[in-house]
């Protein structure tokens, strides 16, 4: 019998979400409904997936909570920050992702989730104009106020542990600047100097979370924790970080379908991806500077799966384009089209078309749950720094680019990383090679 080396999930787990929009309100409503037995957490690996542990006569398939101590849904306590003052119930109704009949049974609980004032800078999301916003002197003060929020939330709710999850809009693109982002000392100096250009509000949330002993998860493609300064801080505080960008619709398809082309040794001439979506995310991404952040995230997936240097005959000059169009009539129901031009024997062309009519928040909610529960698990297992085993859930997995590390984007290799991390934390042997 294996011996798990992870601290038990005792007491309550606080889940503080940045942004109380479509994704968060859907996530919270689903968890509360599932607790009452009124809905099923479909799409959540932590609730449904089974992993093989052991070999031969010892082989068995176990759910995650049978391998490692994962927090129970009944132990989750929610809190949030948002630029709009609407509580979680009002937000769930306004976002029109879920039907009222699926929200009303947990109305009382949702109404109690009232967002704290957001740490916000209009220049990072010009399309948002909420007034539930902190008054801050500078970026350092912004960070200190968030830390105070986390401490107050802990005190008022009596939770034992907290995880902070970013489920807010995509910020404008912040290129990594070695002088500011290269070390923790430089980052702190920039915060104190109120360097608004290099210090995004999301960095203040991440810094505050890690300093308060909370794992931080970046659910948007923001640069936030993808910098050496944050890696240094997470080592210092012994806290895990994960990111970036929830892998919901089109990129999930890409990370699962590109391996088909690569494994079958077919060639690729071009992959054109376009999206239409109409929720708040779409509105923010309609701004070119914000779209740039998302584009970098969505483009990175393919290039590490179908690698020109490894197969020059097949992948040398393919054309890869990603488009996102804001289209209000669709609301949260996103449509992702992939037009893939491939070639086969003797260079003869073929085409593949994939049209995924997905519901963005319905796909994102279970990812929020899994990332929260697994980050909390990682913290109790003493894992800190980048949690590569969570790449499965993320569009552009964090990696140490300063050392030339290439992220794993291949969905099935990511799944092996996830399974092996759980096996190891559960005291079992990791036994599937990732190659």
pLDDT by residue (tens digit) across 98-154? 999 999 999 999 999 999 999 999 999 998 889 999 999 999 999 999 999 999 999
pLDDT higher than 80, residue 4: no
8 A C-beta contact, residue 297 and residue 244: yes
Residue 341 pLDDT level (bands cut at 50, 70, 90): very high
Q: For residue 3, what pLDDT is reported?
A: 66
Percent residues over pLDDT 70 in the chain: 99
Q: Residue 253 corresponds to which tokens in the numbers above? A: 């398809």
The overall average pLDDT reported for the chain is 94
In which order are the strands placed within the sheet that holds 76-82?
116-117, 76-82, 13-18, 161-166, 216-218, 240-243, 385-386
Distance separating alpha carbons of residues 195 and 432, to the nearest angstrom: 46
Structural domain boundaries of the chain?
13-246+362-425, 250-359
pLDDT higher than 60, residue 2: no
pLDDT higher than 70, residue 203: yes
Rounded mean pLDDT of 315-344?
92
Among 391, 425, 365, 422, residue whose Cα is nearest residue 15: 365
Q: For residue 209, what pLDDT is reported?
A: 98
Class of domain 13-246+362-425: alpha beta
Q: Please give the helix or strand (H or E) that residue 349 lies within, else none.
A: strand 349-359
DSSP at 328: G
Rounded mean pLDDT of 263-275?
96
DSSP at 238: T
Q: Three-state SS for 29?
A: helix
- Stated pTM of the model: 0.94
Q: For residue 1, what pLDDT is reported?
A: 45
Q: For residue 287, what pLDDT is reported?
A: 83
- Fold that domain 250-359 belongs to in CATH: Dihydrodipicolinate Reductase; domain 2 (3.30.360)
pLDDT by residue (tens digit) across 9-61? 999 999 999 999 999 999 999 999 999 999 999 999 999 999 999 988 989 99
pLDDT higher than 90, residue 230: yes
Rounded mean pLDDT of 303-318?
94
């Amino acid at each position: 019998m294996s011996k798990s080396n992870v601290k038990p999930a005792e007491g309550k787990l606080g889940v503080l979400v940045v942004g109380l929009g479509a994704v968060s309100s859907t996530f919270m409503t689903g968890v509360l409904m599932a607790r009452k037995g009124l809905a099923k957490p479909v799409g959540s690996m932590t609730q449904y997936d089974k992993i093989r542990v052991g070999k031969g006569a010892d082989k068995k398939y176990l759910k995650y909570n049978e391998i490692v101590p994962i927090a129970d849904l009944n132990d989750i306590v929610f809190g949030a920050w948002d630029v709009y003052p609407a509580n979680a119930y009002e937000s769930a109704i306004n976002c029109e992702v879920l039907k009222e009949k699926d929200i009303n049974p947990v109305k009382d609980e949702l109404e109690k989730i009232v967002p704290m004032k957001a740490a916000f800078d209009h220049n990072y999301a010009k399309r948002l104009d909420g007034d539930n916003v902190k008054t801050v002197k500078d970026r350092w003060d912004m960070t200190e106020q968030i830390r105070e929020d986390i401490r107050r939330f802990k005190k008022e709710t009596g939770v034992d542990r907290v995880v902070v999850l970013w489920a807010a809009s995509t910020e404008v693109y912040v290129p990594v600047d070695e002088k500011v982002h290269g070390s923790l000392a430089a980052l702190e100096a920039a915060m104190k100097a109120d360097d608004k250009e290099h210090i995004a509000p999301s960095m203040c949330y991440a810094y505050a979370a890690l300093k308060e002993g909370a794992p931080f998860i970046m659910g948007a493609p923001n640069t936030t924790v993808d910098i050496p300064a944050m890696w240094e801080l997470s080592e210092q505080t012994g806290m895990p970080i994960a990111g970036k960008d929830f892998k919901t619709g089109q990129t999930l398809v890409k990370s699962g379908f590109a391996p088909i082309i690569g494994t079958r040794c077919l060639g690729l001439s071009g992959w054109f991806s376009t999206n239409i979506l109409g929720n708040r995310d779409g509105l923010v991404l309609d701004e070119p500077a914000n779209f740039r952040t998302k584009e970098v995230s969505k483009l990175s997936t393919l290039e590490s799966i179908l690698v020109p240097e490894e197969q020059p005959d097949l992948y040398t000059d393919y054309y890869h384009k990603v488009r996102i169009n804001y289209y209000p009539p669709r609301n949260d129901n996103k449509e992702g089209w992939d037009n893939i031009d491939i070639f086969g024997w003797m260079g003869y062309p073929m085409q593949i078309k994939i049209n995924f009519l997905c519901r963005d928040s319905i796909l994102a909610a279970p990812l929020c749950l899994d990332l929260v529960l697994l980050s909390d698990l990682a913290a109790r297992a003493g894992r800190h720094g980048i949690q590569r085993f969570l790449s499965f859930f993320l569009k552009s997995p964090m990696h140490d680019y300063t050392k030339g590390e290439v992220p794993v984007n291949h969905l099935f290799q990511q799944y092996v990383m996830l399974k092996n991390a759980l096996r190891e934390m559960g005291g079992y042997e990791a036994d599937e090679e990732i190659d």
